[in-house]
Amino acid sequence: MKKAVLVLAVACVAMPAWAGTESRTLPAGYELIDGIAALVEGEVITLYELMSKFVFVEVLGANIADAEKRKEWAEKKKQDLLNEEINTILVLREAKKLGLSGSATRVNQHIDRIKRHNRWSDEQLMAYLQQQGFTKLAEYREHVRKEMIKSQMLNFKVGSRIKPRAEEIERIFKRDYYGGTQQDEILVQHILIRVPGLTTVPKLRLLQKRIDHVLNLVLTEQKTFEEAAREFSEDPGTRNLGGEIGWIKRGSLDPDFELSAFKLSTGQVSGVIQTQIGYHIVRVLGKRQVDIDDPKKVRQRIRMELHMERQSAAWEQWMKELRGKYHVDIRL
C-alpha cells in the first residue's frame, strides 16, 4: 500500500514543541518529509535545520511589544539565518578549491580556551553549547571549523583592501575628537538584570519579562530610576548608588552598551539593551568634553572600528559575487 506524504511547510513548523522528525506524532499512514528552505548548487538546507537554529534566536525578540513588529523581526531573523547558511556553503566550496579544510588542532585550542576562560568542566561546556543549540560537541566542533575557514577565506580575498591607512585614521581623529584634543564623556546610570552563562530558553523569557516590567515602571513613573535600580538591579557596585556608573568615555564599556548610551539625550531613558552579561536600562544624566589623555588608544579604537566596518562591507560584496557564480534557489 502506498503511503501518503506529509511535507512540512514553514507555517506548520513549531520547533519549541518538537526536537526532531522522529518524535513527531503523525496521522496513521503518513510519512514525514522535511521541507526545503534553499538549494545551493544542489546542496539542501532544510526547514528543520533552519528552525532548529531560529528557536534559539526567537527569544531575543520577546521584548518587542507590538505583535506585527515582532512578526516582522522574526521573519527577518529567519532570512538572516538562511543567508548565513547559504553563505557558509558558498565559502566552503571556494575554500575546497584552495585545499583549505580547517585544523583540528586549532579547533581543540579554541575549545580549551573557552573552558579555561570560564573555568568550565566538560559537562558545563556541554550545558552551555546545548543552550546555544548544539546537541553534541561534534556539532560545535564542526561549526568552529567552518567559522575558521570563513575567516581565512575573508582575509585571503579582501584582507589587504580593508586595512585602514594612517592618514584616514588621522582624519577621523581630527574630525570626531575636536581637532584631536578632546573627547565626549557621558554620566550614566543603569539597571542590570543578569543572564547566567548557563541558562535555558524558558528562563531567558522570564528574565526578559522582568526587565520589561522594570522598564515600564520607570517609563510610567511608577518608580524613579533610582528607586528601580535599588530594588531590581543586579549590579552590586551601582545598585545602592541608584544605578549610577559615573562618567564614561567611548571604549570603556561593552560596545553594545555604549552604542545605545551615547545616542541618548541628557535625561533620556533607553529601551532594553542586551550585552554579554545581561539586560540593561540606561539613563544619561549629563554630557561633557574632556581632554584626551591617551591619543594612541583613541587612534587604535578608530583603526579597529574602520577595520570591522570595512570587513563587514567586503564580506557582503563577496557574498553577492559568489551568488552570481553559483546557483542558489531560495524556497523560504
Residue 47 within a domain: yes
Residue 38 within a domain: yes
What range does the domain containing 250 cover? 182-291
Whether pTM exceeds 0.85: no
Residue 244 within a domain: yes
47 backbone φψ class: left, alpha, beta (φ>0; ψ -120 to 50): alpha
Residue 313 within a domain: no
Domain count, the chain: 2
Task: Tell me which of 66, 86, 106 is where a domain ends.
Answer: 86
- Residue 221 pLDDT: 95
pLDDT in tens, the chain (332 residues): 443 333 333 333 333 333 333 444 555 665 555 688 999 988 999 988 888 888 878 777 766 767 888 889 889 999 999 999 999 999 999 999 999 888 899 999 999 999 999 899 999 999 888 877 788 999 999 999 999 999 999 888 877 778 899 999 999 999 999 999 999 999 999 999 998 877 777 788 889 889 999 999 999 999 999 999 999 999 999 999 999 999 999 988 999 999 999 999 999 999 999 898 999 999 999 999 999 989 999 999 999 999 989 988 989 999 999 999 999 999 87
Residue 128 within a domain: no
Task: Tell me which of 86, 111, 144 is where a domain ends.
Answer: 86
Residue 130 within a domain: no
Query: What is the CATH classification number for the domain harbouring 237?
Result: 3.10.50.40
Task: Tell me which of 32, 57, 86 is where a domain ends.
Answer: 86
User: How far is it, in rounded angstroms, from Cα 249 to Cα 186?
Assistant: 7
Residue 189 within a domain: yes
User: How far is it, in rounded angstroms, from Cα 2 to Cα 30?
Assistant: 10
Residue 18 within a domain: yes
> Contact at 8 Å (CB) between 293 and 247?
no
